[in-house]
Amino acid sequence: MLCLGLDIDPKKVPSALSGSARGLFEFTRNIIEATSDIVAAYKPNLAFFESMGVEGYSLLRWICDRIPDESVVILDAKRGDIENTSAQYATALFKTLNADWVTVNPYMGYDSLRPFLEYQDRGVFILCLTSNKGSEDFQTLDCGGQPLYMHVLDKAVKWNTNGNIGLVVGATHPDHLVTIRERSNNMPLLIPGIGAQGGALERAVVDGTANFTKTALLNVSRSALYASSGANYAEAARKKLESLRDRINSLNPAGRHTTPDKIDPASETTQVMTSTPSASPAPSAPHGSSPEGA
């Protein structure tokens, strides 16, 4: 159930690796190799790569190419614009970077999301109730007798005709998670906020999965990625994730298996696949060669 957010911040990476794209690639590759048997998905956040310019985009492509095929790649982009612009975003994320899932912002309505949803073999996580404190500025406002985020949820259920929609729901809102899980049918949930943002892991696990009967991914980023600033950073990240995995497993009284080997957007109910993942094109090689020694 674990998703590792790849928020690659040169200021937090061990100093020996922070000064070049090659060093950042080595840091991320070692993290992936140390954790790929523990986590179900990796979630690079595009902002951390876009801020580096051309080198950052190349770094993102190198990293996406190194994520194992059996792992889900979620590109955290939070895109959403007029339809012709969203079509270009969808091409960039699904074709150029070969993401399995992306995050999108529903504020501009259905036509802004349609280009993403038309990729029926790929998935779209719609922002529903986010983990940041500012989510209360708009998402919880009363709109006709129910909060705005519930209107987003109901629209997402209506739009899910291809079975490729999920919802982003922050672990920092545990009191709302049960209702969201009930009304979202079988849509998978992406639940951030259990690490540095302080969300309650136990409630996120049990309520987010309806007691291990539905699919959810629990995202952790900074607390695992930067568990150590020393040479043992990859080992420290693994230990942090092992601890989270063990806590999750301890909450599963029936031993139900809900850990996604691959969340299949093409599935009618978007349920967990426990066999071979559906085939998709391998990530294309990045422009130019990979960092020296990679």
Catalytic pick from 78, 133, 214, 240? 78
Average pLDDT over residues 224-239: 97
Cα separation, 45 vs 49, in Å, equals: 7
Tokens of 121: 């073999």
| Residue 292 pLDDT greater than 80, yes or no | no
Average pLDDT over residues 3-31: 96
- Parse the chain into domains and list their residue ranges: 1-70+222-252, 74-220
- At 256 the pLDDT is 62
- At 132 the pLDDT is 86
Highest mean pLDDT among 91-100, 189-198, 246-255: 91-100
Cα separation, 9 vs 38, in Å, equals: 22
- At 199 the pLDDT is 58
% pLDDT > 70, the chain: 85
Residue pair 23/8 in contact by the 8 Å Cβ criterion: no
% pLDDT > 90, the chain: 77
Cα separation, 259 vs 39, in Å, equals: 9
Q: Are strands 146-147 and 262-263 parallel, antiparallel or unpaired?
A: unpaired
- At 262 the pLDDT is 60
Cα separation, 74 vs 4, in Å, equals: 10
Q: Is 78 a catalytic residue?
A: yes
- At 172 the pLDDT is 85
Letter for the amino acid at 272? Answer: V
Q: What is the pLDDT of residues 114-142, one digit of tens each?
A: 999 999 999 999 999 998 889 889 988 99
28: confidence class by pLDDT, cuts 50, 70, 90:
very high
Q: Are strands 101-104 and 123-129 parallel, antiparallel or unpaired?
A: parallel
Average pLDDT over residues 143-152: 95
Residue pair 174/148 in contact by the 8 Å Cβ criterion: no
- At 294 the pLDDT is 47
Q: Where are the alpha helices (DSSP H) in 120-200?
A: 148-159, 174-183
| Residue 236 pLDDT greater than 60, yes or no | yes
| Residue 145 pLDDT greater than 70, yes or no | yes
Task: Compute the radius of gyration of the chain from its Cα atoms.
Answer: 18
Query: Which residues 6+ apart lie within 8 Å of 191 measured at CB?
Result: 168, 169, 170, 171, 177, 199, 204, 208, 216, 217, 218, 219
Q: What is the pLDDT of residues 275-285, one digit of tens each?
A: 233 333 333 33
Q: What is the pLDDT of residues 154-206, one digit of tens each?
A: 999 999 999 999 999 998 888 899 999 999 999 999 999 885 555 588 999 99
State the chain's mean pLDDT as an integer. 87
Average pLDDT over residues 62-89: 97
Give strand pairing partners of 218.
2, 191
Q: What is the largest CA-CA distance in the chain?
A: 59
Task: Tell me the CATH architecture of domain 74-220.
Answer: Alpha-Beta Barrel (3.20)
Q: Which one is predicted more confidently, 242 or 253?
A: 242
